[in-house]
Structure formats: C-alpha cells, structure tokens
Amino acid sequence: MNSTLKSFIEGMPKAELHLHIEGSFEPELMFAIAQRNQVKTKFDSVEAVKEAYQFNNLQDFLDIYYEGARVLLTEQDFFDLTWAYVERIHAQNVIHTEIFFDPQTHTDRGVDFGVVISGISRALAQAEQKYGITSRIIMCFLRHLDESEAEKTLAQALAYKDRIYGVGLDSSELGHPPSKFKNVFAKAIEEGFVTVAHAGEEGPAEYIWEALDLLHISRLDHGNRSKDDPKLMARLAAEKMALTVCPLSNLKLCVVDDLKAHPLRFLMENNLKVTINSDDPAYFGGYMNENYIAITEALELNRTELKQLAQNAFEACFVDEGRKREMLAQLEAYFAENAF
C-alpha cells in the first residue's frame, strides 16, 4: 500500500464498536499480572503465549482467551487491562469506543462483578478526562452456558446499570443459537438495556434472523453470513442495521481463507452499514489501524469507501446526537483536508 493511504487511515478519526476487553490482553501484561497475583497459567513465557496464538476456528481461540483471563483478579488488574487498551487506541486516533466484557468469565472464578466493572469504568473515565475518548460498556452473556446463568448475571448487573449500556451475546456460536437467550434478552430490554449479539460469524444466516426477531438487537456483531441470504441483506439494509465486522479476526479464526475473499465489499455494495473493528486485538494481530490497513490492502478500498466505513461507525454508536454530530464533523474536516 502507498504510504500516503496508510497515513490517511492512521490519522482518520475512528470509532470502535466491537472490542472484547479481555481480548486486548497483551502477553507481556498478562505475564506481569500473573506474576503479581501469583497465578500459574499453562504458559511459562511470553513467547510460549504468543506461540499458542494459532487458531483453526473460534473454539481454539476461546480456549486460550479464557485461560489468559484467569490471571485477572483485582480492580487494579481490570484497570490496567483497560488502560493499556486506551493508550493503544489513543495512539491510533480512535475517539470513541464501545467495549464488551464477559462478566461470567470472572464471576464464575469468584471475582466480584463490582471489581470487574469498577476497574474497567475507572480506566474509561480517565480516558475521557485525559484524552477526550468517549465510551460505552456492553456486557456479554456467554452463550455456551445456560440461559439461567445469563439471568443470574443480568440480576447482578442491575446494581451497575449506570455504567452498563447494553447486553450482548458471545462465545461459542455453533449449537448455541440466539433463540436460547430470548427470555433473558426480553428482561434486559425491560430493564432499559440496548441489545446486540454476535451472529453469523461461524453460525448460519438463520442465527441472524433470530437475533433480529427474538433478541431485538440494535446492532449486529460480525454478521458475515448475511451474505448468504439476499432477503436478510435487504432487511438489514432497510433497517440501517450496523454490522461490526472484524477483518483480522475473521482471517485468524478461518472465517475467511484470505482477506481478498472477505465479504466486506459485497456487503457494502448491498447497502449494509458495515463498520471495521478489532474484536480481540492482542490475539488477532492488530488494533483498529491494522484492521483498516489489512482490509484496504486486500480489497483495494479507496478513500471514499474508508470514509464511509468510519462514518458508519459514528452513526451507529450508542451516544447522544450532540456527540455524534461532533465526531461526524471531525471526520468531515479530516476528509476535507486529506481527500487527495
């Protein structure tokens, strides 16, 4: 790629809408926290951790991702994890981020819900004070566990409603369709949470229909497999439903064999509101800029398409109209100065 296009991407103001905070856990920090907490893991060096990052599918990755999260115990651990992510995105001109966390991964190990949410939200408050980065927190239910477990998690979350904007659904997709969680999502909506869900990453288009009709999602995480179903694409386009696409994640988890075969442009051509995100950047080889650069290179995206992708994310984020307008104006100004 020519260096001016690369700099254009790097300097562009961006919003991230699909990021698992536990997936931003870099091996060096993981190791430091493991030592601080005297927690033993499967890995005896940073290199051993990195070598383990070869995945054939989503489950291969999840096994390692949950292993890494085991070292997180204290409020300071969750702060350090989140702050490290904030520093990375600040360096990449990300001005707004909406992050997922998996409460069950921690509460099932005896870590208090409040410890997790306090560490994450303290770092995000500091991100706003220090860098002006705004944010939202979305808690995900682990879909490989029962709906009753998700219900317990929702009940625990009510005490922290002021800090949790939405609920989502992640973990092993195949065999765990959105319909399994329709009751708990209905309760979450009654409690005032916005809903999103991972669907159509490894699972079929049918799971996306279920996420729309049964979970009443406001945004679709991944959604790649909508490419298989023209009626579904028409519905998503009509509803202006945003898709949080994660190119390097799709490559590393073998959702696509090659980024050149990625459906992103096809989805955009079908008028879907596509956004670019990093998913689990410490595991998949890159944060926002690396994702933008890799997909731009593979699909030969131009500046107008790049602007559209960034704009889609600002339009699809869960903030008030004033902040949205401010971020969109920042993008316009950047584009006007750097279009050619």
Contacting positions for ligand HPA (CB under 6 A): 20, 23, 58, 65, 170-171, 198, 201, 249, 279-280
Say how far apart CA 292 and CA 276 lie, in whole Å. Answer: 7
Give me the least distance between CB of 332 and Zn ion, in Å please: 29
Which three-class secondary structure state does DSSP give residue 98? strand
| Alpha carbon distances (Å) from 23 to 20, 234, 290, 320 | 5, 32, 15, 27
Binding string to Zn ion for residues 77 to 96, with x set by CB under 5 A, is what? --------------------
* CB of 12 or CB of 69, closer to ligand HPA: 69
Say how far apart CA 224 and CA 266 lie, in whole Å. Answer: 10
- Taking CB under 5 A as the rule, does residue 279 contact Zn ion? yes
Each as own residue / partner, the long-range contacts of residues 64-67 (CB below 8 Å, 24 or more positions apart, any chain) are: 64/283, 65/20, 65/22, 65/23, 65/280, 65/283, 66/105, 67/41, 67/42
Q: Tell me the β-bridge partners of 195.
A: 167
How many residues interact with Zn ion (rule CB under 5 A)?
1
For residue 161, the tally of other CB atoms under 10 A from its CB is 11
Query: Which entry of 22, 201, 202, 210 is annotated as an active-site residue?
Result: 201
Residue 175 gets the label, from left (phi > 0), alpha (psi -120 to 50) or beta, of: left
| Residue with the two structure tokens 């790049």 | 306
Binding-site partner at residue 210 among Zn ion, ligand HPA, none, CB < 5 to 8 Å by type:
none
Does residue 201 carry a catalytic annotation? yes
Binding-site partner at residue 165 among Zn ion, ligand HPA, none, CB < 5 to 8 Å by type:
none
Binding-site partner at residue 201 among ligand HPA, Zn ion, none, CB < 5 to 8 Å by type:
ligand HPA
Give me the least distance between CB of 282 and ligand HPA, in Å please: 11
Query: Is 85:48 a contact under the CB 8 Å cutoff?
Result: no
* CB of 101 or CB of 193, closer to ligand HPA: 101
Which three-class secondary structure state does DSSP give residue 76? helix
Give me the least distance between CB of 101 and ligand HPA, in Å please: 10
Query: Is 164:138 a contact under the CB 8 Å cutoff?
Result: yes
Binding-site partner at residue 26 among Zn ion, ligand HPA, none, CB < 5 to 8 Å by type:
none
Give me the least distance between CB of 158 and Zn ion, in Å please: 24
Residue nearest to ligand HPA (CB): 170
* CB of 8 or CB of 173, closer to Zn ion: 173
Give me the least distance between CB of 338 and ligand HPA, in Å please: 32
Q: List residues near Zn ion by CB under 5 A.
A: 279
Active site residues: 201
